[in-house]
Amino acid sequence: MDNFCWLYEKPTCQGRIKAQPEHFVVKENLGFDFAGQGEHFMVKIRKTGENTKYVVNELAKACGVKSRDVSWAGLKDRHAVTEQWLSVHLPGKPDPDLTQFVAEHPGIEVLETTRHDKKLRPGDLIGNWFQLRLLELDKPDELTAKLEQVKCHGVPNYYGEQRFGHNGNNVVKARSWGNNEFRVRDKSKRSFYLSAARSWLFNMVLSARIEQGNVHSLMLGDSLQNTGEDNGFLAETLSPELQTSIDEGRVNITAPLVGDNALPTQADAEAFELAVIEQEPLLLKLIRDNRMRHERRPLLLKPQEMEWQFDGDDLVLDFSLPAGCFATSVVRELIIEREDDDHANFNQ
């Protein structure tokens, strides 16, 4: 991530992140209610130190179904305490007794169960709530101003380290695949490498805009989105009214999640984006060969419900983020993780 620019300059405060799973708490927000009946058994779990797919496999065994019959809205970090819903397809069957399942897995708790008429699918959530404890800060007095900046103006909406794998290995593999050095048949690996390729290009464009000082400023031909909406529209003129809407957070400037079709941007914005993404020809070739659909993502991310308090040299930080956004991108603007923290791993 050191390849990418900071919005408020690189932090000077160092600290520890995820010293314990309890220092990184995540609670899922689906944004809808369950029907209370249906062929899908819904299970709300709290897991500590386990990844979602492991829990899915173990829950499937406990319910007497295949792993493919258990689904989720979002994968959650292993090195954390996380709460999320899982759905188990059990048509015509009673709710299973999960007592033994809980007894055999001390890192997993069942918080609630119900029924629903539809399975959960990846992306079926509106966001997540986080509570982080950042430990042993060497310059806590310098954080208050940064925290206020982040609360008021947001952070770069970067994809976090975990998207790129250990030491960026997913991006390295994606380049090699794009160079026809090997074939990837495994479905999950294909997804990892393609996601890493598009995420890397997005981060490059975002970083370049920060570097040139125009992350908040409208460029002619920018692709824009009204806040809370996915449909885009073009900046056909550099109108003061449109810039005001951006400044006030009602309109977002976006950057590309590159696909095999042409960029939707025009004029200056299109030239800018092309100049950046064409620095990675192998990643572009891979994306186009796999016929991925072009999408857009806002440049900036503004945490909601953001609160904090200091506890000696520790910081306890609460905030909510939309689905697909990374808490590590918020932390990155605040502190530098100590290099000796080999236990703090965002890559799984």
Stretch (H or E) spanning 162: none
3-class DSSP state for residue 281?
A: helix
CB 303 within 8 A of CB 150: yes
Give residue 116's region: left, alpha or beta (phi > 0; psi -120 to 50). beta
**CA angle (100, 104, 105) in 5-degree steps:** 120
In angstroms, the CA 208 to CA 266 distance is 17
Neighbouring-strand partners of residue 109:
46
For residue 69, give the amino acid letter: D
Contacts 24+ apart (CB under 8 A), 238-246: 242/218, 243/217, 243/218, 246/216, 246/218
| 77 annotated active-site | yes
Sequence-ordered list of residues with C-beta below 8 angstroms from that of 84, at least 6 positions apart, any chain: 28, 44, 45, 47, 52, 72, 73, 74, 76
- One of 77, 124, 222, 314 is an active-site residue; which one? 77
Give the Cα separation of 232 and 86 in Å (integer): 32
The answer to whether residues 131 and 316 touch, using CB atoms and an 8 Å cutoff, is yes
The rounded distance, in Å, linking the Cα atoms of 210 and 215 is 5
Q: Give the catalytic positions in this structure.
A: 77
